[in-house]
Amino acid sequence: MTTTHLGAFPAGFLFGGATAANQIEGAAEEGGKGLSTSDFARFVPPAADGSIADFTFDATSEQVEEALAGRAPEGTMYPKRHGIDFYHRYREDIALFAEMGFGLFRMSISWARIFPTGFETEPNEEGLAFYDAVFDELLAHGIQPLVTLSHYEMPIEISRRLDGWLSRETIALFERFARTVFERYASKVKLWITFNEMNMNLTSIYTGAGVFPDRVQGRELQAAYQATHHQFVAAARVVALGHELMPDAQIGCMICRLETYAATSKPADVLRATHEDNLNLFYPDVQVRGEYPTYMTRYLREKGIEIAMAPEDAEILRAGTADFISISYYMTYLAEDRPDADALSGSLVSKLKNPYLELSAWGWPVDPVGLRIALLKLWGRYGKPLYVVENGLGARDRVEENGRIHDDYRIDYLRAHLLQVREAIEDGVDVRGYTWWGPIDLVSCSTSQMTKRYGFIHVDQDDYGNGTLARTKKDSFDWYAHVIASRGTSLIDVD
């Protein structure tokens, strides 16, 4: 039992959940939608020894061409094409979110559902109407949508024809997409995020930037930062456009926060941790401050990376800075001064393990205090409002004979992290919302599996797409509902 003097979360703080279109919608070729990069993410089954691969995102140009020609190897599966059928079941799912008391639902719009190839001059009305219906349903239940424009998917034709974000031409295509949805949904959506986890480009340039890795072999780092620059410019242009079209809207940036500790108090390890931290904070530095930081200028120079920039880019970045910062937070990292340190840099699952932290079933360190540290650091550095838009625990759930799912481990994880968010608010940090990643079981980003479950709501579907898709409440469903209803006071166990 823990005794604490923390009270309720502030009035106006928004609790909710977060998803991505490519992991829940399905209906990959319905309603006029075109295929996106995520529709070519293959299912990676567990190995024979039961071990599970993680962070296997990439698709090569050859694999995509084989799939489009119907020549993919026998047994190849693309689970994101069917998702969990949110496309047809969104009313049922939103009703369950409302039953939990959600005030905020983070979701994304599939670019390929609005512009099937990305090159059309007129949008797909059927796709626009679908999101109208989703937003109307959310608002009818008192749930505010927080919408990500680009969440690990773009029309596959942009990758095939332009090499995705490696091409400057993609900026104009994205701006047309953004203008279309801003104008359509201005009265319904007041919170927007430009790009999900832009720092993913260092881990999977295909996932983050729609660039085929086989086309940039041998120059991966150069390509990652060039694609990122084009995304920076696109984000800034879209922020400026959004402010013009929707004066009452807020448009933010988002990173996967890689909070890094020095492995020891050795000064060289501390310096290495500072370097790793800077490589992560580079993304909000540009999007919030509107210019490249000097430490990054040196880093790029020493790596032999030259970013092609247009003369107007500096002014575009200054004119389109983000209104808020949003983060995904799952774990913390260790850094030490060692010969292979650069190879570890930017990795989403570190090979260095913190002996003071427990690991999840997928080998992710569980560190609730690290979330408070991250929020304090971001607030001190930028002074911008913050949203935790992804935080969650992937786990293997067991369905009991009576159909119940007892997921105390998920409740424990959520309680510990929410308490640290509340502590950060008490520290004076302006945290405005928290959306748990995967309030409903969804297709995993990395391996396209269902085994790795995050939700408060169980979906009856296995890794191979078998099941009824029935939705069932887990124990965590009622627990989170109680937290929201009490504005967090139920988190506190008093002696």
Q: Catalytic amino acids?
A: 197, 390
Per DSSP, 148 falls in state E
H helices present in 383-453, as ranges: 408-426
Q: First-to-last CA distance in the chain?
A: 6
**Alpha carbon 123 to chain centroid, angstroms:** 25
Coil vs helix vs strand at 359: strand
Measuring CA to CA, which residue among 151, 325, 322 is closest to residue 236? 322
CB 344 within 8 A of CB 273: no
What distance in Å separates the CA atoms of residue 435 and residue 222, rounded to the nearest whole number? 34
Q: Distances in Å between the alpha carbon of 197 and those of 148, 202, 213, 314? A: 11, 10, 18, 22
In the structure encoding, which two tokens stand for residue 32, read together? 């006029």
Helix (H) / strand (E) element for 379: namely helix 368-382
What distance in Å separates the CA atoms of residue 10 and residue 426, rounded to the nearest whole number? 10
Strand partners, 191: 146, 250
Per DSSP, 453 falls in state B
- For residue 69, give every residue at least 6 positions away whose Cβ sits within 8 Å of its Cβ, in sequence order, or none: none
By residue count, the chain amounts to 495
Helix (H) / strand (E) element for 334: namely strand 332-335
